[in-house]
Amino acid sequence: MDAGLLAQYVMNGLMLGMMYALVAVGFTLFFGVLDVIKFSHGDVLTVGAFTALATFAGLRGIGIDYGPINLFAMLAVAILSMAALGMLIARLIVLPLRSAPALNVLLITLMLGTVLRESVRLFYPQGANPKPFPALLTQTSIDLGRFNLRLDNGLMLAAGVLIIIGLQVLLNRTKLGLAIRAVAQDEETARTMGINFTAVVLMTFAIGSALAAFAGVINGLYYNEINFSIGLYLGVIGFSAAIIGGLGSVYGAILGGFLFAGLQTIGTVVLPFASAYKDVFAFAVVIAIMAWRPTGLIQEKISERV
């Protein structure tokens, strides 16, 4: 296989990996702070994507059709509204159920995800049909032999990387990040240190959901299409990626995301005419990893009081 083809595969893998990583980071943040798996995360992504689409349609309706402004507005509206949705979910569902058995929370968030997905399908006009997403980034591409480098893919990849770096900076260099890490480590002690637990939790959910909204818009721009079930697939993969990387570790989530994308790409390359098996291959590896390392590649440090 020549370098151009390889580069194309690598590029595809990187784009997928970035999207998975963004979702996985959200899962890990929520788990770290509240010990809860918020399964509806993937569907928050879907709602974010549809919100962006609705914003676009709205702006078009009132006559604003300038690419960068539309894109900026879509991102802003999607991110802010999803942040609000995330906080709402945290406040109304996740926080009150902190003392309930973990399974109940898992199931509630799973069902919540279904509610979000079905709401989009039923209440968005013709939600059951796939919807074209506007191509708002530059369409130019550079041909490097067999490898076709599209500038918009490059831009999205760069943006994704920046966001992840930004998140790391937020977590490690700011006071809010310090508060989040403190709460993730030990809730009681953090509270005694004067950290406003509820506020920190809400902020964390807001950040995670905002990341999901960003991933949703990127997804729409990449495929030029969104439909109501993209969240389910991405959510499960994001969750698996977070688990592989080890819940509670942001680096682990990013690693897991790119690893999963890598597995899918390897699956495609190794089985050229049966590339449909790539998902089977990837999930089988996930199960195998779970059998080998039950708490993920980057071990979660749990101590159980007996």
Partner 1 sequence: MLLRSRTSTMLAVTLLAGTLVATAEAKDKVKVGFIGPLTGGVSVNGLGGRNSADLSVRLRNTDAKAKYEYELVVLDDECKPNVAVQVATKMAADNEIVAAATHYCSSTAIATVDTYHKFGLPVVVWGAVLPDITYRNKYAEVHRVNGTMINQNEANAELVTKLGYKTFAVIHDTTDYGKGHNQYFSEALAKKGGRIVGTFGVTADQQDFTAELTQIKALNPEVIYFGGLTPIGVRIRAQMDKLGIKAVFDGTSGIVSEAFIQGVGPLAEGVLAFREGAPTEKLPGGKFFMEKYTAQKYDNPPEAYGAFAFAAMDLILDTIEKVGPDRKKVIAEMASVKDRDSIVGKITFDDHGQNTVPIITKYVIQDGKFVEWDNSEYTSGKRKLPGQK
Partner 2 sequence: MAEAGQKTNAPLWPGLAALLLATAYVGTMLAAEKQRTIIALLGFGIAAILLAGWLRLLEPVGRSFADREDALGALSIAATLAIGGYFREDHFVLLLVVTVLLYSVATLGLNIQFGYAGVLNFAGASFFGIGAYTSAVLNTYSAVPHLLVLLIGGLLAAFIGSLLLLPVLRTRGHYAAVVTIAFALLLKTFLEVNDVLGGPQGMQVPGMKLLGWSFNDNITIGRLSLSFYMSYFFVSLLLLVAAFILVRRLERSWVGLNLDALRLDETAARCFGLNVARWKIIAFLLGNFLIGIAGALFGMVGGFVAPNNYTFADSLILVSILLLGGIGNPWGLIVATLIVVVVPEKLQTIQEYRFLLYASLVIAVLLFRPEGLLPRPVRRYFPGWRP
Q: Which does 224 bind (CB under 5 to 8 A by kind): partner 1, partner 2, none?
A: partner 1
C-beta contacts of 192-201 below 8 A and 24+ residues apart: 198/95, 200/33, 200/176, 201/33, 201/34, 201/90, 201/94, 201/95
| Closer Cβ to partner 1, 189 or 224, answer by number | 224
Residues 194-253 close enough to bind partner 2 by CB under 8 A: 232, 236, 239-240, 243, 247
270 binds partner 2 (CB under 8 A): no
Using CB under 8 A, pick the residue from 58, 67, 68, 130 that binds partner 1: 130
268 binds partner 1 (CB under 8 A): yes
Stretch near partner 1 under the rule CB under 8 A, chosen from 35-43, 77-85, 167-175, 217-225: 217-225
CB 27 within 8 A of CB 253: yes
3-state secondary structure of 122: helix
| Closer Cβ to partner 1, 11 or 167, answer by number | 11
Site string for partner 2, 72-101 (x = CB under 8 A): ---------------------x--xx--x-
| Closer Cβ to partner 1, 98 or 146, answer by number | 146
Residues pairing with 141 in the sheet:
150
Least distance to partner 1 from the beta carbon of 277, Å?
11
Stretch near partner 2 under the rule CB under 8 A, chosen from 62-70, 116-124, 132-140, 156-164: 116-124
What type of residue is 226? Answer: I
Stretch near partner 1 under the rule CB under 8 A, chosen from 37-45, 111-119, 126-134, 154-162: 126-134
Q: How far apart are CA 145 and CA 44, in angstroms?
A: 39
150 binds partner 1 (CB under 8 A): yes
Q: How far apart are CA 136 and CA 152, in angstroms?
A: 9
Q: Which does 111 bind (CB under 5 to 8 A by kind): partner 2, partner 1, none?
A: partner 2
Burial class (CB in 10 A: 0-12, 13-18, 19+), 262: middle
What type of residue is 81? Answer: S
3-state secondary structure of 213: helix
Radius of gyration for the alpha carbons in the chain, expressed in angstroms and rounded: 20
Q: How far apart are CA 180 and CA 178, in angstroms?
A: 5
Tokens matching residue 99: 């003392």
- The residues of the shown chain that bind partner 1, judged by CB under 8 A, are 5, 8-9, 12, 16, 126, 128-130, 132, 141, 143, 146, 148, 150, 153, 223-225, 230, 233, 268, 272-273, 275-276, 278
